[in-house]
Amino acid sequence: MSRTLRGRDYLSLADFSGEEIREILALAVTFKRDQRSGHDHGLLRGKSLAMIFEKPSLRTRVTFELGMRQLGGHAVVLGSAEIQLGVRESVADVAANLERWVDGIMARTFEHATVEALAAGARVPVINGLSGLEHPCQALADLLTVQEKIGDFAGSAAAWVGDGNNVCHSFLLGAAKLGLSVHVATPEGYAPDPTVVAAARTAGEQTGAVVRLTHGPYEAVAGAKVIYTDVWTSMGQEAEKAARARAFAPFQVDGKLVAAADPEVVVLHCLPAHRGEEITSDVLDGPHSAVLDQAENRLHAQKALLALLL
């Protein structure tokens, strides 16, 4: 196993090359195969991971905690009430203490600046388990799922339909670095961050991936082998829910929209899903859906990330 990523922070896919992303995915494939055959890896025996949660979690907590355990290590869960980052104690002080006890830190935060501050203050690897700007761990699971379902990324296109949010940002960056084009359809005013789009387009110049923005969901899905959507209202945006529901209503992923894509299109959603809002139940539970494969792949992709960084 390569040691080239040892000690690195994982805050954004912008900081990792296409080759490094492929290395993580390749190890994830190995871990997934070996787990299903009953083979265990003790690569992180004696290692520990602090897991900081400012936001609630199902998939992130379970997959990181189990991932550490399956690799022979140990995870410590720290909820928002226990440490109160920046309130009870500064982020820098939390980081300085944790680095004396643990071998890595995973943080699921509201502000991206919080994970950046943790990384600046700790000499152990810091993993962005979700921030307001990016969700790079989710993107690894997404890309692993796409790889499993359609094979090579080059020459294919995915459609992002909905909000240009943190999940969209990480998917754009990762897809572009692997040669997968992404057509993003959002209502006016909800496009992804221009800086992220520019970075993805720069990456795409090297791989042939095209990043295109539109306000038409049917335009975005035409010929797409992947349709990806997410909730219209993320945590912390509850006050905007009514306005967002009106703006996003034409962007629902339903059977009609799926039928406008490639006949073998794969539908993704990072979950949790709001059935009947951004996606209909017949699509979420239908033959094109790979959402549970995505959820499972969080475990394998994050195990690979942990094994390479720690």
CATH of residue 94's domain is 3.40.50.1370
Residues 126 and 170 reside in one and the same domain = no
Q: Which two tokens stand for residue 197?
A: 């789009």
Give me the chain's average pLDDT, please.
95
For residue 4, give the amino acid letter: T
Q: Which two tokens stand for residue 210?
A: 């095209």
Residues 269 and 152 reside in one and the same domain = yes
Spatial CA neighbour of 139 closest among 175, 165, 115, 107: 175
pLDDT tier, 1 (very low <50, low <70, confident <90, very high otherwise): low
Query: Within 13 Å, how many C-alpha atoms sit on residue 128's CB side?
Result: 30
Residues 106 and 144 reside in one and the same domain = no
Q: What is the pTM of this model?
A: 0.96
Is residue 164 assigned to a domain?
A: yes
- List 268's β-bridge partners, or say none: 228
Average pLDDT on 188-200 reads 98
Is residue 285 assigned to a domain?
A: yes
Residues 142 and 291 reside in one and the same domain = yes
Residues 233 and 128 reside in one and the same domain = no
Is residue 189 assigned to a domain?
A: yes
Give the total number of structural domains in the chain.
2
Give residue 85's domain range: 13-135+297-309
Q: State pLDDT tens for residues 91-103.
A: 999 999 999 999 9
Average pLDDT on 22-50 reads 93
Residues 51 and 147 reside in one and the same domain = no
Residues 105 and 235 reside in one and the same domain = no
- List 126's β-bridge partners, or say none: 105
pLDDT at 4: 85
Residues 182 and 270 reside in one and the same domain = yes
Residues 291 and 142 reside in one and the same domain = yes
Residue 241: how many CB atoms within 10 A of its CB? Answer: 12
Spatial CA neighbour of 207 closest among 233, 247, 175: 175
- Residues involved in catalysis: 108, 135, 138, 230, 270, 298
Residues 62 and 76 reside in one and the same domain = yes
Confirm if 200 and 211 have CB atoms less than 8 A apart: yes
pLDDT at 119: 98
Average pLDDT on 156-163 reads 98
Is residue 158 assigned to a domain?
A: yes
